[in-house]
Amino acid sequence: MSLLTEIEPLKQSALAELRAAADLAGLEQARVNHIGTHGKFTSLVKQLGTLPKEERPAAGKLLNQAKTELEGALAERRTELELKAALPQDPTDFTLPGRRRTLGKLHPLTQVTEDIVRSFRKIGFVVADGPEVEDEYHCFDALNTPADHPARDTQDTFYLNTPNKTLLRTHTSSVQIRVMEKQPPPVRIIVPGRVYRRDNADATHNPTFQQIEGLYVDKGVTVGDLKGTVEFVFKEVLGSDVKIRFRPHYFSYTEPSFEIDFSSSLVKKMGKDWLEIAGCGMVHPQVFENVGYDPEVWTGWAFGFGIERIAMIRYGINDIRLFYENDLRFLRQF
């Protein structure tokens, strides 16, 4: 075989070896094997002098081109491997919490909200959001709440001074509608958010407070799923000794509807056996119709509860106003 015909196959096998090197040591070995002082390719270059004079320029040119290509491949693979070597060996989990915060603390309501959200995330719920300034359609009509319902009374709802009856949402249930209008089923969301009602502030009421809404829509969803989900989350947030029970109730957007009571050592401490904690039910077919879901195909449940109430039970707080006064002597305890 003449020198000229050897160049190409030798170059190809050198390139393959350089490119396949798994680490920097392997790359160095490939370099020594081929383009080092005693490498296979180098020995080819050394044979150039043995060629007849007239063949030398063409062979020299080919060898030079091949050498440039090999050196390029070497440099390229070296950069890649150096980058790889500089990365941490164990994959980094970017979802891990950061280091301890150096300044300040989260408000107790934020802590409770985050705990609740974390529990729901474990079982596949995602957080959704919607506007606090709402229209009557999303807050009431689409939720099957008739025009003469007392919730719409100006005694209960803050209306804005606009001709189209814009209002401050009285519950996070409006976000159920906004989400279903935007996406086809299945749906699995929770909605933490601020709501407004025309209550006078006292130990258990405040004109603005926070709720968490949940909505689950799929095929074949049952009350059993609802109960299991609620029980799982309340056990996580309020302790493993939590028991829950459902009592029949009425909400216009669910049928059947229930109120959820719970019992635990925390409730006993408050001198009670059961505390009412949330409303829930199976999504009313009319609500599905209103958002364009086929109620013959889709089933679902929804619930809503107040975050302040959960925080008050959890921390044994007897006055809701403490959460908003921002008295540092209060806040420092959490």
Q: Is 67 helix (H, G, I), strand (E, B) or coil?
A: helix
Q: Token pair for residue 98?
A: 């950061």
- Verify binding: residue 213, ligand DAH, rule CB under 6 A: yes
Q: Are 159 and 167 in contact (CB under 8 A)?
A: yes
User: Can you give 103-124 as a three-state secondary structure string?
Assistant: CCCCCHHHHHHHHHHHHHHHCC
Q: What's the min distance (Å) between Cβ of 251 and ligand DAH?
A: 4
CB of 85 to ligand DAH, least distance (A): 54
- Write each residue from 297 to 316 as x if it is in contact with ligand DAH (CB under 6 A), else as -, in one continuous string: -----xxx------------
Residue 116 in the binding site for ligand DAH (CB under 6 A): no
Which one among 44, 279, 309, 323 touches ligand DAH, defined by CB under 6 A? Answer: 279
Helix (H, G, I), strand (E, B) or coil at 146: coil
171 binds ligand DAH (CB under 6 A): yes
Of 35 and 189, the one with the shorter C-beta distance to ligand DAH is: 189
- Regarding 251 and contact with ligand DAH (CB under 6 A), the answer is yes
# chain residues binding ligand DAH, by CB under 6 A? 11
- Which DSSP string corresponds to 208-242? EEEEEEEEEEETT--HHHHHHHHHHHHHHHH-TT-
Distance CA 41, CA 14 (A): 8
Task: Tell me if 196 contacts ligand DAH by CB under 6 A.
Answer: no
What is the spatial distance between Cα 139 and Cα 170, in angstroms, rounded to a whole number?
7
CB 159, min distance to ligand DAH, A: 17
In angstroms, give the least distance from the CB of 80 to ligand DAH.
53
Work out which of 280, 291, 310, 322 binds ligand DAH, going by CB under 6 A: 280
Give the span between the Cα atoms of 63 and 69, in whole angstroms: 10
In terms of CB distance, is 137 or 330 closer to ligand DAH?
Answer: 137
- For residues 283 and 257, what is the distance between their CA atoms, to the nearest angstrom? 9
Least distance CB 139 / ligand DAH (angstroms): 10
Taking CB under 6 A as the criterion, which residues in 33-62 touch ligand DAH?
Answer: none
* Run of H or E residues at 328: helix 328-331
Q: Which residues bind ligand DAH (CB under 6 A)?
A: 171, 173, 213, 251, 254, 279-281, 302-304
